[in-house]
Amino acid sequence: MVAAAIMSSMIITSFSSGHPWAITCYQCKACSLRCPLGYDVSMYVSAALTNNPDLYMNAKNLQLPLKVAYETDPNMLVEIDGKLLTAKEAYNKYNSSTVVWVRRLRVKDAAKFDPLDGNCETLCPINLKITNIIRDLKDDGKFG
Amino acid sequence: MVNSAKMERKSFMFFVLTIVMASLIMGINLKENGIVIERGKHFPIVREPLTGKYNISINNAGIEIVLSRDLANEYEGKFLAVYAYKSNDDLFVILKMVINGKIQISAKEEASFEVKLRNGKVESVTKAGKDVSFYSILKYAKEHNLNYGLQRCLLGKQCAKICPVSAIAEFVADNSQQGRGRIIPRINSASCIKCGLCINRCPTNLIVEK
């Protein structure tokens, strides 16, 4: 009964996000291997599954001007001179035009900066349309 | 005993009902996101190379690419691909965002992809191995007179995937003097139905309407 309830709630949230196929993802993370930005791409699918674009995901190769990072999300985790700090802390210490490495950001913000190249999809063993989620979030950061 | 069997049956029915509803909603969703194919209206062409619109300089700290004003206006905050050949059939690519009209690549940054060519056609695109410094490859290409530069194609093959008639079956190296080995999709105009889906899907406007 509990399992059915959990399954049902996951199905309901994935329906409400508009990407019910997200439930078929088994988190093999093959998509993440190919992402040129070093995103943990499976988090896009997790966000669709839970209908929560505010989940945080890791990134390795995304660079942004500090001002853009701060204005996007003050809690975004950035790296400057080998130090990890939030965008808010960095904004108070460094010049706002400094280009920083982004290490952790919300799924909706990741979608905003995503190049939509679609390299992540090419390795998915079950051909999930991950770029559909990204397109959905790109404009307003919301599902649907 | 009878009660527990009833409960199991109930939860099973609940699960089946949810799956049926999921299928229905998925069907509606697909219908809403359905793509309308208009034949014969949008003739796709591959845009001209970026040669002459940027300047690449290499120093000990890394690579700096300064874009012309037009190019910077078009691509500010967006991604372009920097490529460098290691041999005639092997090139490395790194995807970078244009920030303040420039692309900067530090000496330590790894390449995003390795592209293998055979007879000028892309045979494979794989994740570049770890510790493959793009800086060293571009430097090598410059020293050995191999092609390197900036291109629009991000190698995700989105255009090929969306084409309903598989008119974009291959990606090739543009070995013209202006092309300088950039990778572009080859559009088979004989089978193209001019639906324009590739034009809409290309994230960098490499494919545009004629």
pLDDT in tens, chain A (144 residues): 788 888 788 888 888 889 999 999 999 999 998 899 999 999 999 999 999 999 999 999 999 999 999 999 999 999 999 999 999 999 999 999 999 999 999 999 999 999 999 999 988 999 999 999 999 999 899 988
Residues 6+ apart with CB under 8 A from B27: none
* pLDDT, tens only, A90-100: 999 999 999 99
Q: Counting beta carbons within 10 angstroms of the beta carbon of residue B9, is it exposed (0 to 12), middle (13 to 18) or buried (19 or more)?
A: exposed
Find the distance separating the first CA and the last CA of chain B, reported in whole Å.
Answer: 73
Provide the mean pLDDT of chain B. Answer: 87
Chain B positions touching A1 (Cβ under 8 A) are: 7, 11
Tell me which DSSP letter residue B38 carries. Answer: -
Residue B151 sits at the chain A interface (C-beta within 8 Å): no
* pLDDT, tens only, A52-78: 999 999 999 999 999 999 999 999 999
Tell me what pLDDT residue A114 has.
95
Do residues A20 and B29 lie in contact, with contact meaning Cβ atoms separated by under 8 Å? yes
% of residues, chain B, pLDDT over 90: 70
CA–CA distances in Å: residue B23 to residues A20, A97, B30:
9, 49, 10
Q: Is the pLDDT of residue B30 over 60?
A: no
The C-alpha angle A41, A25, A38, rounded to 5 degrees, equals: 10
How far is B75 from chain A, CA to nearest CA, in Å? 11
Residue B100 sits at the chain A interface (C-beta within 8 Å): yes
Provide the ipTM.
0.88
- For A21, the closest of B26, B154, B204 (CB atoms) is B26
- For A115, the closest of B12, B154, B157 (CB atoms) is B154
Do residues B150 and B65 lie in contact, with contact meaning Cβ atoms separated by under 8 Å? yes
* pLDDT, tens only, B130-179: 778 999 999 999 999 999 999 999 999 999 999 999 999 899 999 998 99
Tell me what pLDDT residue A16 has.
86
How far is B57 from chain A, CA to nearest CA, in Å? 19
Tell me which DSSP letter residue B35 carries. Answer: P
Do residues A78 and A113 lie in contact, with contact meaning Cβ atoms separated by under 8 Å? no
Q: State the Cα–Cα distance between residues B205 and B210, nearest whole angstrom.
A: 12
Q: Is the pLDDT of residue B40 over 90?
A: no
The single-letter code of the amino acid at A119 is N
Chain B positions touching A8 (Cβ under 8 A) are: 14-15, 18
Q: Counting beta carbons within 10 angstroms of the beta carbon of residue B130, is it exposed (0 to 12), middle (13 to 18) or buried (19 or more)?
A: exposed
A34–B161 C-beta distance less than 8 A: no
How far is B26 from chain A, CA to nearest CA, in Å? 6
Tell me what pLDDT residue B21 has.
66
Find the distance separating the first CA and the last CA of chain A, reported in whole Å.
Answer: 30
A118–B158 C-beta distance less than 8 A: yes
Q: Is the pLDDT of residue B29 over 60?
A: no
Q: Is the pLDDT of residue B67 over 50?
A: yes
Substitution target in B125, B127, B162 with the highest count of A β-carbons within 10 Å is B127
